[in-house]
């Protein structure tokens, strides 16, 4: 008979090896499908663009490179459905009402904890390389009126448990909508112990004369630029100019920074194995009931 124990030991050793850092260093991030769920959420590198940055500010916000870099710093997990949720303001689990578009529910979205919290069950168990945690937070610079993401830091290099993504309502009776393929969270691996190794200090800038000199040149340049710009009124629809030294990675003297990034290029999740079965087709369900009639009344007649 075959030695099943030896085979299992070999598979376990291979799995442990897969969790080790890549040959070039860094961290490995693996999402293991959990097949007790019947659908799997998409995961993509977070993009630099945000709708409000493009349109609400007519593109002006895109000149802020730190914003765009922060937008890209991690991987988004995307919603698999359209739905609207409302909270009555009470602590009970059933105080959060979820209404799915076209009556097609997602089995991954529900009210699980009460207290105005909407929960997504993730159909994955995440594993990082030894020594790396996974920061699970809301999508960067994507504010949502009436609800806010709850963040957590998970030791995904050893835990055998899955975790959920949660958003908490900030006020009752404010309907909040989530759309299919809208980001619901951002995944950001962090090396354990790095924050504790930081030694914060407060000093006077006069204690670093070269830095003080560079700062003085910068602030004098900025004030002169602001004064000059204020003398020329903007035409209708014209955006103000900006110095752009930080975006170019240079000091006001023209000296280049030793290192500078204008974008992040994160690798997409590589699908090394297909799912063992295809996602189930979700059938529509009835959406009637007293609560839905109350919400319809609160929203008013359709326009």
Domain boundaries, the chain: 15-198+265-294, 206-248
Location of structure tokens 């920061």 = 135
Pick the CATH number of 15-198+265-294 from 3.90.550.10, 2.70.40.10, 3.40.50.300, 1.10.3260.10: 2.70.40.10
Which pLDDT does position 281 carry in this prediction? Answer: 57
Return the number of other C-beta atoms located less than 10 Å from residue 256's C-beta.
11
Q: Which residue(s) pair with 83 in the sheet?
A: 100, 178
Could you give the residue ranges of the DSSP H alpha helices within the chain?
Answer: 4-18, 51, 65-71, 194-197, 209-230, 245-248, 290-299
pLDDT at 8 over 50: no
111 vs 21: which has the higher pLDDT: 111
Alpha-carbon dihedral sign for residues 289, 291, 292, 293: positive
DSSP state letter for 128: E
pLDDT in tens, 244-299: 888 899 998 999 999 999 999 999 999 999 998 776 655 554 444 444 444 444 44
Task: Please provide the average confidence, as pLDDT, over all residues in the chain.
Answer: 86
| Distance, CA of 57 to CA of 55 (rounded, Å) | 5
């Amino acid at each position: 008979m075959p030695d099943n124990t030896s085979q299992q030991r070999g598979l376990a050793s291979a799995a442990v090896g897969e969790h080790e850092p890549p040959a070039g260093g860094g961290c490995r991030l693996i999402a293991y499908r959990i097949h007790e769920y019947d659908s799997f959420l998409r995961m993509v590198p977070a993009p630099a663009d945000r709708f409000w940055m493009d349109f609400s500010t007519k593109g002006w916000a895109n000149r802020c490179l730190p914003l765009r870099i922060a937008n890209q710093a991690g991987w988004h997990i995307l919603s698999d459905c359209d739905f609207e949720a409302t909270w009555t303001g009470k602590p009970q689990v059933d105080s959060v009402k979820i209404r799915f578009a076209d009556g097609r529910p997602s089995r991954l979205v529900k009210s699980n904890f009460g207290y105005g919290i909407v929960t997504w069950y993730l159909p994955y168990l995440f594993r990082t390389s030894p020594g790396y945690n996974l920061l699970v937070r809301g999508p960067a610079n994507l504010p949502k009126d009436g609800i806010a993401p709850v963040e957590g830091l998970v030791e995904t290099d050893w835990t055998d448990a899955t975790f959920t993504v949660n958003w908490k309502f900030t006020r009752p009776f404010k309907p909040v909508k989530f759309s299919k393929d809208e980001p619901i969270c951002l995944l950001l691996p962090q090396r354990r112990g790095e924050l504790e190794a930081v030694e914060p200090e407060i000093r006077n800038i006069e204690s670093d004369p070269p830095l003080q000199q560079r700062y003085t040149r910068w602030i004098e340049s900025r004030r002169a630029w602001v004064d000059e710009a204020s003398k020329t009124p903007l035409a209708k629809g014209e955006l103000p100019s900006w110095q752009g030294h930080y975006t170019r990675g240079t000091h006001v003297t023209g000296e280049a920074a030793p290192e500078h990034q204008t974008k992040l290029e994160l690798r997409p999740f590589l699908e090394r194995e297909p799912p063992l079965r295809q996602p189930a087709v979700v059938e529509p369900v009835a959406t009637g009931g007293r609560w839905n009639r109350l919400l319809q009344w609160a929203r008013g007649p359709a326009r």
